[in-house]
Amino acid sequence: MRPDAVQRVLDTELAAARARRGGDAPRVLDVGGGSGVWAVPLAVAGCDVTVIDPSPNALATLASRARDAGVTINAVQGDTDALSDLVPAGAADLVLAHGLLEVVDDAETSLRALAASVAAGGAVSVLVANRFAAILHRAIAGRIVDARRLLDDDAGQLAGTRDPLLRRFDVAGLEALVEKAGLTVELLQGHGVVADLVPGAVLDASPGAAEALVELELAAATRPPLRDVAARLHVLARR
């Protein structure tokens, strides 16, 4: 059993979108989600899913997963910079940007493009790496110099290394970025607050521990300061 505060929020949002559409399938746009981690389960749940991703390898993985799951997903190879040319404006009930803003060249421009692609009343789901969690995890692992560099770098990047991320976020910076894109933040929560820290052996050895962890994770997701040091930060924002 995996505690997932993000999935719980998405389920609620998609139920509302289905109701607005009179029972028709919610339209989901997953930008940068080429491998299908989120897209395939949403398609299985009855959503009309489109994935935009620049990587042909990721889209090949998506096609394989979709085939195995017996669902159809509209896959489009392309960059966030060209989103307006790839999908109609205002066409999606829910737009996913999970693990996207850390790697694009311009996070603000990309988020504005995402906002333009969602229908009035629809939502954008943003999931990003947390800068402060990265600092803590490196310090605990003994990487003290890297932890200090992340603390001193406002973008939360380990410049000059093989850091795969261009930036990491904190609560205040993420909220400000979303609002600059013309969206209203409805929820800002943590993802991986405590669940990522509990060894699997502990859960296996303690009856009821897995269920207790689910409850703890979901309860901690919206409670600062625990939320603020989660492995990832999640925003649901409304257009």
The share of the chain scoring above pLDDT 90, in percent, equals: 87
Q: CATH 3.40.50.150 in the chain, residues?
A: 5-130+169-238
pLDDT tens for each residue of 35-72? 999 999 999 999 999 999 999 999 999 999 999 999 99
* pLDDT value of residue 18: 96
Give yes or no for residue 74 having a pLDDT over 60.
yes
Listed residue (60, 45, 53, 57) closest to 79, CA to CA: 53
**CATH superfamily of the domain spanning 5-130+169-238:** Vaccinia Virus protein VP39 (3.40.50.150)
DSSP structure class, residue 121: E
pTM over 0.75: yes
* pLDDT value of residue 1: 43
The encoded tokens of residue 47 equal 């959503």
* pLDDT value of residue 25: 97
Alpha-helical segments (H) within the chain:
5-20, 39-44, 56-69, 83-86, 107-117, 131-140, 144-152, 171-180, 200-205, 209-220
Listed residue (33, 122, 118) closest to 75, CA to CA: 33
Cα dihedral across residues 175, 90, 64, 61: positive or negative: negative
pLDDT tens for each residue of 132-157? 999 999 999 999 999 999 999 999 99
Give yes or no for residue 2 having a pLDDT over 70.
no
Lowest mean pLDDT among 88-97, 124-133, 141-150, 190-199: 190-199
Which pLDDT band holds residue 3 (cuts at 50, 70, 90)? low
When the pLDDT of each residue in the chain is averaged and rounded to a whole number, the result is 94
Q: What is the mean pLDDT of residues 162-187?
A: 96
